[in-house]
Structure 1
Amino acid sequence: MRFKASIQNITTFTKFTASLNSLGPLAWVKLSDDQVCFTIIPEQGTQVWAVLSIDTIFETYTVQSAANNVINLEVPLTSLNRALKSALNATSAQIRLTKKDNLPLLALTIVTASNSNSHAAFPTNGGNNGDDGLRQTPLDGSLGGGNRETIVTQEVPVRVLAPDTVAGLHEPQCREPDVHIILPPLMQLKSISDRFTKLALAGTKAGAGSAASRTRLEMAANMHGCLRMSIRTDAMSISSVWTDLNNPELDPNQVAGGNIGIAEHPSTRMKLLGTADGRSEEGWATVRIDGRDWGKVMSVGRLGGRVIACFCHEHALILYVYLPSDNGEDESVLTYYVSSYSA
């Protein structure tokens, strides 16, 4: 079993793991010949199924195993993200699967160049520094002249998962969406949803009622480019509405039945209802989600990229986050499954 790769987009990798870490402490990471998959399946809250093309993050990449060159790992996201943060100013970084004291770990080797008069920014005690098993081993090498090369290895303990352990894990099954719409910038949505949630929580502290019921956001959209975010409590009712958003056209090659399937698709029927100004109450698909969980989901907005939201009325909200790539193609997609509360 062998995995080794050089990281070319350390900033993207760091932001990506930070956004996942906000939703759960552990990730199932599946390494294969053509892609890397990160999956978060918490006991409660949003599931994430992320499929990354190799060149989204890595430059050189090798994976070998007896199981068709597939390696499954359980990775602590906090430790991985902390290790990656220390590599943000590196001249190069490599990651590999290895063992220490017969325990598997991901070793992140970071190379930085600095003036010989400056001090390394890394701890040099070789201990775990309280970082959930994260270990650091510094090494120094000379580059000649007045510069010094510093090599630091960050060790992140992992667990290797047998193929039969993950064989039963599959993405949630959802019916065809009633509405699909391209969202405005996620950081804009996050700012507003966080404000709504804080207002609701403040109202809860001042009056009666459970916090859980007071922080549920209502998200709704129609097939005329309208999106609405609302929150209601006994003390207030506030909402924000976006118009002139884009409802992407369905691809006949991606819909069962081709053009006939599109004609019978729920979103096609919903397009016959509602209006572009959003004033009509017809044609809206609605979900109710936890405001705090939604704020964590929105943290993926730091990666940029296009986001398509699929609304299954009163059932679920599915987000497809397409990461920008160097060649301009949408090769990597993060899929978020957010269940709806009942009314």
Structure 2
Amino acid sequence: MRFKASIQNISTFTKLTASLNSLGPLAWVKLSEEQVCFTIIPEQGTQVWAVLSIDAIFATISVQSAANNVINLEVPLTSLNRALKSALNATSAHIRLTKNDKLPILALTIVTTTASNTYSAFPAAHTGPASHEDGFDASFDNDIGGGNRETIVTHEIPVRVLAPDTVAHLHEPACREPDVHILLPPLMQLKSISDRFTKLALADTKSSTAATATTSRTRLEVAANMHGCLKISIRSDAMSISSIWTDLNNPELDPGHVAGGEHGIAEHPSTRMKQLGTADGRSDQGWAVVSIDGRDWGKVMSVGRLGGRVIACFCHEHALILYVYLPNDNGDDESVLTYFISSYSA
């Protein structure tokens, strides 16, 4: 079993792991020479199924295994993200699967170049695979001429190799056809407003003498229609506030991707919803609504740091699915992060 790759988009890789780490400490990483998949399945909260093209992160990759050249790993995201942060200013970075004391690790080797008259200190301590902390395996300074010095540092990230049978039963949640699909405004804008609503609701809860532990979760109501409207609301006994966006885009369905083609589109739930509601958002009809945890939603919105377009699919009172498309250098959307957010029961 072998895996090694050179990293070309360290910034994207770092932002991705930071975003995923906010939703869960461990990721199932599926490696092949065609794509890299990151999956987060927490006991509670949002599931993430990310499928990335190789060139979204890596320049070159080699994957070899007895299981059709596919390797499945359980990776601690905090350790991986910390190691990647140290590589942001590197001139090159490589990652490979190896062993330390017969235990599997991901070894991230970074090369940095500094002026020879600049002192740079790297701790030479080694953190063993028994803990989920990354450590420095080695540090070497090489004079490469021209007044520059090259420093090589390797981080060791403990991982667990997963047998194919262990992950064979894991699949994306099944959802019905969405009632509404809409292109979201910038996620960091949504996050700012959602976080403000959540803080207001928490302050209201703490000030209430009737507050109990069960009210510590703040429910946001997120709704959209097929006329380009999106609304985020929060309600309590003391307040009711909302923000609404209009003139957003409802992407057209592709007959080639809908069962029944043109006839399937005519019978699609979103087509029926489009016959209801208005473009100014004032009508009570034609809205698909989900109730979600405010704090969890704020964590999901952190994926906005990656950029790209986000299409939200609303299954009324059931689930919200976000498709985050990451553009490649050639302009194609070949990588997608899928977020499954369950709605609270009505």
Relative to structure 1, the CA distance from residue 225 to residue 309 in structure 2 (aligned partners, 3 Å threshold; closer, same or farther) is same
- For 1:52 and 1:289, how far apart are their aligned partners in 2? 27
Partner of residue 290 from structure 1, selected from 280, 290, 293? 293
Asked if the contact 1:204–1:211 (Cα under 8 Å) also holds between the matched residues in 2, the reply is no
Counterpart in the other structure of 2:123: 123
How many angstroms apart in 2 are the aligned matches of 1:27 and 1:48? 9
Deviation of 1:196 (Å): 0.3
1:120, distance to aligned residue in structure 2 (A) = 2.1
Aligned residue number for residue 132 of structure 2:
132
Q: Quote the residue 1:168 is aligned against.
A: 169
Please tell me the residue identity of whatever aligns with 2:148.
N
Give the counterpart of 2:272 among 269, 272, 275: 269
State the identity as a percent: 81
How many correspondences in the alignment?
343
- Tell me the equivalent position of 1:215: 218
Q: Secondary structure at the match of 2:16?
A: helix
For 2:2, the aligned partner's letter is R
1:15 aligns with 2:20: no
- 1:296-315 matched pairs, under 5 angstroms: 296-315=299-318
Task: State the Cα distance separating 1:125 from its structure 2 match.
Answer: 3.0
Inter-partner Cα distance in structure 2 for 1:224 and 1:159: 47
Q: Distance in 2 between matches of 1:131 and 1:188?
A: 37
- Is 2:179 aligned against 1:178? yes
Cα deviation for residue 234 of structure 1 reads: 1.1
Distance 2:121 2:176 in 1: 51
Alignment of 1:19-98 (within 5 A): 19-98=19-98
CA RMSD of aligned residues (A): 1.4
Supply the distance in 1 between the matched residues of 2:239 and 2:21 (Cα, whole angstroms).
33
- Equivalent position amino acid for 1:248 in 2: P
Distance 1:308 1:211, change over 3 A: farther
Select 1:336's aligned residue among 318, 336, 339: 339
Q: Structure 2, unaligned stretches of length 5 or more? A: none
Whichever residue aligns with residue 232 of structure 1, its letter is R
> Separation in 2 of the partners of 1:134 and 1:241?
44
Stretches of structure 1 lacking an aligned partner (at least 5 in a row): none
Conservation of the 8 A alpha-carbon contact between 2:127 and 2:133: no
What secondary structure, in the 3-state scheme, does the structure 2 residue paired with 1:281 have?
coil
Structure 1 distance, partners of 2:139, 2:323, is: 40
Residues 201 and 211 in structure 1, CA contact (< 8 A), matched pair in contact too = no
Q: Deviations over 1:80-99 (max 9, x none)?
A: 00000000000000000000
Q: Deviations over 1:233-265 (max 9, x none)?
A: 111110000000000000000001111100000
**Residues 192 and 210 of structure 1: CA distance in aligned 2, closer, same or farther (over 3 Å):** farther
Give the distance between the partners of 2:89 and 2:123, measured in 1 at CA: 15
Letter in 1 for 2:330: N
Give the match's secondary structure for 1:191: helix
Partner SS for 2:228: coil
